[in-house]
A and B are shown apart, each in its own frame.
Chain A
Amino acid sequence: MADQTIDALRGEPILLRILKGIALLRESGVGMIGAALVLFWVVVALFAPLLAPFDPLATLQLLAFPGDPYVLDPGKTFDGQAVEEVCALIETGEKQGKYDCGTFWLGTDRVGRDVLSRLIYGTQRVLLYAPLATFCAYAVGIPMGLAAGYLRGWADEVLSFVSNVILSFPVLVLYVIIIATIGASGTNIVIAVTFASAPGIMRIVRGLVLDLRNREYVFAAQTRGESAWRIMFVEILPNARGPLIVDSCLRLGYVIITIGVLGFLGLGLPPPDPDWGGMINENRLMALVAPHMTVFPCIAISSLVLGFNLLADGLREISLRD
């Protein structure tokens, strides 16, 4: 944009302002807890290969019988013990009817894969697809809301009608229909979430714009003949950012739940990729005898969602103070 040429007239760089905003978060205790939870999972996702003790796809059987595609290097050791010793341990463990020998911290699942490693690798999937889906939903919902709220007239009527139709479907049914039609994959989850969330975002943006479009600075822009495009994106949108940032944090939490639900319904990431919702689904039949297989993925989902919700609360608290 041409405005950027006049650097001298601009205030502080955007990055510095964002950092200052984050620094403000320190004043909100709730927000700090949320930020810590989210940060924890982000670190886990980033360093998954270093943190995970096992290959998330390798089963006990594969570990015990080298030669299969998932066989490990013969020289590699677990917890300082040679592979052969581990195998021996596992065999003894199997004979005694338990798989946990202190090697698998959170135990193994139905088919004998390490729950901890799957959780850690699952974080990567969740923290890739949830923000991506939320971002796409905003990328579609914001222009729709701006157009409906600012242009009004037929644009508003058409967009509001479409969004009402979409919102009138039960969300879950909508997801099932979409995923069943276009197939289960990461990209398709993003598409489904975008389709189902964009109308809600459109409504929020439209409401904000209906208020902001009557501000005098918008009249000032109109009286100097600015284009509708510029008024919507440069004059109005930046002033709607406060509520939208808070909403995006909350929505991120909901999308994580959604991805979990899709996984649980078997519509999530196709197996054998580690997926939190999928982990719960695969092991749910054994939930009463071996609860560790389902409890830990549940805790992971709730803690991440809680993190985003608390973060949203903290952000709202700060934005109300100004």
Chain B
Amino acid sequence: MTGNGVDYDGPILECRGLCISYFTRAGEIPAVIDFDLTLERGGSVGLVGESGCGKSTVAMAIMRYLGKNGGIVGGEVLYKGRNMADFSEEELRQLRGNEISMVYQEPMASLNPSLTLGKQLMEVPLYHEQVAVKEAYDRAVRMLADVKLPDPERVMAAYPHQISGGQQQRVVIAMALLSNPTLLLLDEPTTALDVTVEAGIIELIGEIAERFNTSMIYISHNLGLILETCDRVNVMYSGQVVEEGSVKEVFDEMRHPYTKGLFSAIPLPGADKTARPLVPIRGQLPLPHERPSGCYFGPRCDFFNDGRCDQGQIEMEAVAGEEGHRVRCLRWQEIDWAAYRPQGLSGEEMTPGQPVLKIENMKKYYEITDNSLAAIIKGERIKYVKANEDISFDARECETVAIVGESGCGKSTFAKVLMGLETATDGEVLYRNQDLAQEPVQARTPEQIGDVQMVFQNPFDTLNPSHTVGSQLARVIRKFGAESEPAKIKQRVMELLDLVKLPRDFAKRRPRQLSGGQKQRVGIARAFAGNPAMVVADEPVSALDVSVQAAVTGLLMDIQRSYRTTLLFISHDLSLVRYLSDRVVVMYLGHIVEQGRTDEVFSPPYHPYTEALLSAVPIADTSIQRKRIILEGALPSVLDPPSGCPFHTRCHRKIGSICETKDPPVVDLGDGHRIACHIPRDELDKMEPVIVLSGEGQSEQAASSEESPAAD
């Protein structure tokens, strides 16, 4: 045993055949089975997998924080060559504070809201190294500067709620780095953040790994992030590593059918809804106590061999010629990927029809009464939150219009006005030439209500847990007067379940007996129960697992096609938007900054904000090169929006004082492609594409011009 010496140069962390179980009322539930990992000094390993695959459990086992009902039932974890089972409680405490640090998903939950950030940061050196207060303070300030927080002294004195989410996560990372750890565990550190903020954090993590020579374990469900942050990757499925290797090998030539399935299910820039549609992975993740025998992926695998793949434990096999690339599949050598033509989502083209919805200069302000003394003295007691400012666009029959923007950009407010949950402050919302802007839902006719329906974001929240699936669907059918006889209503409920490809006996189930994807299908069925002409989908798949996302997206598009429904797709996921929408509306702080056909918006000339958004999205494709634009600062408050162009506070292409004083003109680049920016037309035209497929030297513009069917 080498011990803890500084001259130790073996792997920092090794897991050998690690098995972790949770013990519950129902008995032992294996959470992680036969997990191997080797992490060299300065290396970074990504753990990627869907929810419930055991990736966070691995991190907890390394920290030895498994809680009362969890335990390591087999294998060992070696830290610097020493078995962690031999560490005493005191040694473990030292280890956690000094050598291993962890960054969690929710920054607000990691920070104590009642202590200043400075106090929390200083605690680390004060308790673990017993340094003087002055030194602890200096080190904390220096570390805050290292994680690129502006004005570290101010941050030290602030409380967590006084800084933005992205800044909070930077503070958490600074706190993790203060003890100068050898090993940093990052558990989905950017999942709760907006894409442009995420890009900054990811860049920071990369720099830190280099500068401090810290080893990292990066846990994520996002393949694109793993590509950017890690050298090696372990792909996990249902408690097992199914494939491991260097990021380049695994991403370029994956061997396991599950890895292959994941990459076919996510919308990479090459995917196209007509030419190269997404391929969903059928079925759903098995629950830990319902795993099949043999290969856990068997029931969802196209290469499943009866009598062979379902027998006994399957071991990892090394891929010849690629060092460290191992795969847990019996048939990996037999599969001929070149000849594999999976059944993708149906990709018929749709021709948009007549305009259905026309929004003209729609405004939505919320009134806030400010009761502070200063406001009373100034006489400015009423303030306006300008959630939507001058929204104008239209949508045609059978068209998919995506509304894109980060949190707080006003896209959900817009949906509320459209649905009649709020009324507009000004402007028109013309639906089939009837103005709905001032009509709350109570004042609308049942036909108008039934015509515009909504698919919600959170599958765990979208269905009422107290009522059966069938009775919830029946209520909608009755409400919109589609049918009134009980027998016919029941018939219609069954048809709806068929429509969303769920078994008919689900009608009697309650929502808690359904998985997330199934609930979202019921949510879609509910929206389509009244034969709507337009459906607003508010991030319908963002809370679902990657392998289920493609199937639900495909379902939504299939139904849209057969009903010729107009789809307003609200999302922050630009990859998905590029894949399925015909037109895109980009919003920032309640303003539309750019709109146009998908291929136009995704290729230059861009609005600077669109450009930054595009550059921020991580893409899980090694052949893609993208420009890095990191936006400075935080999203301004809607209570006190910047004057002039709303984006000027963070813009990387700001041209001068005109941006701060004058509202930007809306430049029409032809064919409905409009950009609200002061940058002169000829300079806009000179912009370079953000995303380039490096191998072919082909620009994104060329790649996408054959994409959208609406283009022709």
Contacts and interface: CB of A to CB of B under 8 A. Distances in A.
A223 B441 contact: yes
B446 A219 contact: no
Given A27-B25, A220-B462, A10 B441 contact: no
Interface in A272-322: 322
B449 interface: yes
Contact of A9 (B421, B476, B493): B493
B493 A217 contact: no
Contact of B508 (A10, A222, A238): A10
Given A6-B470, A10-B470, A11-B509, A224 B490 contact: no
B102 interface: no
Contacts of A11: 468, 508-510
B593 interface: no
Given A216-B458, A217-B463, A224 B479 contact: yes
Given A10-B471, A11-B509, A217-B463, A2 B478 contact: yes
A168 B480 CA distance: 47
Interface in A191-215: 215
Contacts of A216: 456-458, 461-462
Nearest to B460: A216
Contact of B464 (A9, A10, A224, A235): A235
Contacts of A322: 512
A77 interface: no
Contacts of A220: 454, 456, 462, 523, 526
A3 B508 contact: no
A223 B419 contact: yes
Interface residues of B, number: 44
Contact of B475 (A3, A8, A219, A223): A3
B476 A5 contact: no
Interface in A15-47: 27
Interface string B521-536: 0010010001000000
Contacts of B509: 11
Interface residues of A, number: 25
Contact of A217 (B441, B464, B479): B464
Nearest to A226: B479
B453 A225 contact: no
A239 interface: yes
A6 B419 contact: no
Given A217-B464, A219-B456, A220-B526, A225 B471 contact: no
Contact of B468 (A9, A217, A224, A235): A9
Contacts of A9: 468, 470-471, 473-474, 490, 493, 507-508
Contacts of A225: 441-442, 444, 446, 449, 479
B501 interface: no
Contacts of B508: 9-11
Contacts of B466: 238-239, 241
A11 B480 CA distance: 23
B235 to A, nearest CB: 32
Nearest to B418: A223
Contacts of B282: none
Given A6-B490, A11-B509, 11 more contacts: A3-B474, A6-B489, A9-B468, A9-B493, A9-B507, A217-B462, A220-B526, A222-B441, A225-B449, A225-B479, A234-B467
A224 B530 CA distance: 10
B467 A223 contact: no
Given A215-B461, A225-B449, A226-B479, A238 B526 contact: no
B377 to A, nearest CB: 27
A6 B461 contact: no
B420 interface: yes
B465 interface: yes
Contacts of B526: 220
6 contacts: A2-B478, A11-B508, A216-B458, A217-B464, A224-B453, A226-B479
Contacts of A3: 471, 474-475
A71 to B, nearest CB: 58
A188 B229 CA distance: 72
Contacts of B454: 219-220, 223
